[in-house]
Amino acid sequence: MTNVPTDLLRTLITVVDVGSYTRAAAVLGVTQPAVSAQLKRLQVLLGAELFERSTQGVVLSPAGKAVVSRARRLLSLNDEIVGCADGGLRSELVIRIGTPSDFVASVVPETLARFRAKRQDVRFIVRSEFSDALVRQFNSGELDLLIHHTTSPPPDARHSEEQEVVWIRGRSFRLDLSKPIPIVSYGDPSIYHKLAVRTLRAAGLEYEHVFESPSMHSLTNAVAAGLGIMLFTRRRAHAIGLGIWEDAPLPRPSPLYSGIFVRESGAREIYEQLADELATVLHGPLDVQARIYAGEEPLTARSSAA
């Protein structure tokens, strides 16, 4: 029977989370050759290649994805066991947070810094992917908190808020309804993309995808340049300072629901405390949120009312 050392699995998870061997070495306090050697040993033990050759950085193979999913659960249990054994005196609680939004990732760190100031035994891993992938990870126990949008009210969320969705355009954009409507979006996996397509199809309107990118900065620049239009929640558009098309001659999209979900097992009380503080920012006043996003107001200057 093969026993896999947890230090090898922890190295694997670190490489996946930070996206490179070099950054993982810095995080772990070892050399890059040491990281490479550990991963090579892990692959020999498992008898499988965990990574695919790619110019896009760290890319997991199908076997690698399966191992990472289970490794996260195993390490989480390992850390809980250590915490139980020493009364929590030495253990460090790692809270894994998933969010599909560049915007959320931009305002969340200050909340995490404030939370850690009160709890020095906590550290965070934040993953940004599309909602479908994050939901799968949350359901399999790979995430402790999940922040994402849903198309219907989420009954199992710790916090939720209905979000109005609006069309966004640049100042130079002119719509010609005799031609396909040019859409800017994150692409197929994005809930905004799906909602835009569904809204236009329901109205019998033709459309074309003129610009797709995983970067919100690229998308907002494309909209500002007049390439096309896209959907955002009003809250998000207001915070970023995008041009909301109030009188757009287009069908009104249905709302989305912003939800914060907490894993049932593990350090649930601590997860809930963090979820409550995150809700203060994500569901707080629009004008204050915009200043936080722009770096003009620290989190500590705000009220704690959600």
pLDDT tens digit string along 64-82?
A: 888 988 888 888 777 777 6
Let me know whether 3 and 79 are in one domain. yes
pLDDT tops 60 at residue 1:
no
**Mean pLDDT value across residues 277-302:** 59
Total number of domains constituting the chain:
3
**Which H or E element spans position 282?**
helix 268-282
Spatial CB neighbours of 197, under 8 Å, sequence gap ≥ 6: 183, 207
**Mean pLDDT value across residues 16-25:** 80
Inter-residue contact 129 to 19 (CB < 8 Å): no
**Mean pLDDT value across residues 207-234:** 91
Residue-wise pLDDT tens digits, 154-199: 888 999 999 999 999 999 999 998 999 999 998 888 899 999 999 9
pLDDT tops 70 at residue 90:
no
Let me know whether 79 and 43 are in one domain. yes
Q: Which of 83, 103, 119 is the last residue of a domain?
A: 83
**Mean pLDDT value across residues 14-36:** 82
Which of 96-100, 212-216, 297-301 has the least mean pLDDT? 297-301
* pLDDT score, position 299: 40
Instruction: Give this prediction's pTM.
Output: 0.64
Q: Which two tokens stand for residue 18?
A: 């930070």
Domain limits for position 246: 165-254
Q: Which of 83-92, 111-120, 123-132, 162-171 has the highest mean pLDDT?
A: 162-171
Q: Which of 83, 106, 124 is the last residue of a domain?
A: 83
Inter-residue contact 151 to 195 (CB < 8 Å): yes
Let me know whether 260 and 296 are in one domain. yes
Which of the four pLDDT bands, split at 50, 70 and 90, describes residue 251? very high
Print burial letters for 168-205: b (CB count within 10 Å at least 16), e (below 16): bbbeebebeeeeebbbbbbeeebbbbebbbebbeeeee
Let me know whether 175 and 156 are in one domain. no
* pLDDT score, position 162: 93
Residue-wise pLDDT tens digits, 48-67: 999 887 666 678 889 988 89
User: Phi first, then psi: what are they for 229, rounded to 5°?
Assistant: -120, 165
Q: Which two tokens stand for residue 253?
A: 């999209």
**Mean pLDDT value across residues 215-242:** 88
Let me know whether 182 and 240 are in one domain. yes
**Mean pLDDT value across residues 98-108:** 73
* pLDDT score, position 300: 39
* pLDDT score, position 187: 86
Let me know whether 64 and 78 are in one domain. yes
* pLDDT score, position 31: 86
**Mean pLDDT value across residues 27-35:** 83
Let me know whether 287 and 262 are in one domain. yes
Let me know whether 156 and 261 are in one domain. yes
CATH code for the domain in which residue 125 is found = 3.40.190.10
Strands lying side by side in the sheet with 93-98: 122-127, 93-98, 145-150, 256-262, 159-163
Q: Alpha-carbon distance 109 to 116, whole Å? A: 10
* pLDDT score, position 306: 26
Q: Which of 83, 111, 126 is the last residue of a domain?
A: 83
CATH code for the domain in which residue 32 is found = 1.10.10.10
pLDDT tops 80 at residue 112:
yes
